[in-house]
Amino acid sequence: MSTSLSGVPAPAGAAAAIGRLRRARRARFAAVCAGLALAALGALVLSLTVGDIDVPLADVLAVLTGRADAGTWFIVGELRLPRALLALLVGLCFGLSGAVFQSLLRNPLASPDVIGVSSGASAGAVLASMAFGLSGLAMSGSALVGALLAGTLIYLLAWRDGVSGSRFVLIGIGVGTGLISLRSYLMTRAEVTEAANAFVWLTGSLNGRSWDQFRPLLGCAAVLVPLTLAASRYLAPLQLGDDAAGGLGVRVERGRLALLASATALVGVATAAAGPIGFVAFVCPPIARRLVPGQGAALLPSALTGAALVCLADFAAQHLLPGTQLPVGVVTSVIGAPYLLWLLARAGRAGRGG
């Protein structure tokens, strides 16, 4: 056995180096997740304390422990807390879903708001509201059904002895365009006030959200997030390609369908709660992968990035213009649209179409 200059056998030295690299990656992963969690917590505290009436942190803690007076409870517990928690949970769902789509299809454009899944959810909600007069949980259920139907249609149309990421994206863009046309037609047939309210919702807004929207989303996320993380065991083999994954003993179609169904359902329930907030699922995974290089899909960092991003974006939307509350989707679009243009320009220079 050959030895290195230090006298240590080369294989042992290589094993030690690999061990140090793995420990360093695990430490960085833990540090990044902790930092993102703290950023999300900081955004939550900022949303609860700052507003038209600033509330001291001690009074916020009194609300959380049930010791606040009625006025403070109304401001924090009824107006700010459900909205801030909803922002965190919506961002978590979008971030996790985007990481699954982009990693599974191996395409940075494979985001639910680009490939038509979010359009399916919004079309389902608008159809339920304007054609059938549904609201509340019924409309939320319609958004979920719309997302699942759109995802199923895209999958069936993209299937050709397997699913190619670029084909899935292109077909998804086409299906999404058709659903947007249906949505626009429904809005032209609606009353002016209904169309105006629908337009704000379609931008992605947390204005006026309360516990009525948070509780159903929390229940759905409590089921879907663990299911998505459980299905993620298929993700690493599937990223190698269908043939390689099958050679490793993975049930390719079963694993792919489980991941796509879980990610699509996350988009549906998040869209039902806050509307199709644009670009969150699109930008969070690449941000997370840059923070934890070499960690594959980076599902947990992507989810935490989404939570922090939406909460901070909603805070900016509330306070960016004095006296006006913008939809949070306006702020996230300002962040995401330049990245999309840069990504398309880079793909064009490289001679790729996505």
pLDDT at 183 exceeding the cut of 80: yes
Q: What is the DSSP string of 169-229?
A: HHHHHHHHHHHHHHHHHHHHTS-HHHHHHHHHHHH---TT--HHHHHHHHHHHHHHHHHHH
User: Which residues, including other chains, have CB under 8 Å from residue 164's CB and lie 6 or more apart?
Assistant: 158
Q: Which of 318, 278, 314, 1 is nearest to 270 (CA)?
A: 278
pLDDT at 170 exceeding the cut of 70: yes
Q: How far apart are CA 335 and CA 310, in angstroms?
A: 11
Per-residue pLDDT of 277-317, as tens digits, reads 989 999 999 999 999 987 778 899 999 999 999 999 999 99
**Is residue 56 very low, low, confident or very high in pLDDT (cuts 50, 70, 90)?**
very high
What rounded mean pLDDT belongs to the chain?
86
Q: Provide the Cα torsion 292, 261, 265, 120; round to 10°.
A: 110
At residue 270's C-alpha, the angle toward residues 268 and 275, to 5°, is: 90
* CA distances from residue 84 to 7, 50, 66, 306 in whole angstroms, order as listed: 59, 12, 18, 13
**Is residue 354 very low, low, confident or very high in pLDDT (cuts 50, 70, 90)?**
very low
Task: Output 53-62 pairs: Cβ under 8 A, ≥24 positions apart.
Answer: none
Q: What is the DSSP string of 239-288?
A: TT-HHHHHHTT--HHHHHHHHHHHHHHHHHHHHHHH---TTHHHHHHHHH
Q: How far apart are CA 159 and CA 154, in angstroms?
A: 9
Read off the pLDDT of each residue in 222-227 and give the average, rounded to a whole number. Answer: 94
DSSP SS3 for 324:
strand
Q: What is the CATH number of domain 22-347?
A: 1.10.3470.10
**Is residue 349 very low, low, confident or very high in pLDDT (cuts 50, 70, 90)?**
low
Could you tell me what percentage of the chain is helix, strand and coil, using 3-state DSSP and rounding each to the nearest 5?
A: 75, 0, 20
**Is residue 270 very low, low, confident or very high in pLDDT (cuts 50, 70, 90)?**
very high
Whether the CB-CB separation of 321 and 153 falls below 8 Å is answered with no
Token output for 57: 């942190």
Token output for 219: 């229940």
Q: Where are the domains of the chain?
A: 22-347
Radius of gyration of the chain (CA): 22
pTM to 2 decimal places: 0.88
Identify the pLDDT of residue 127: 87
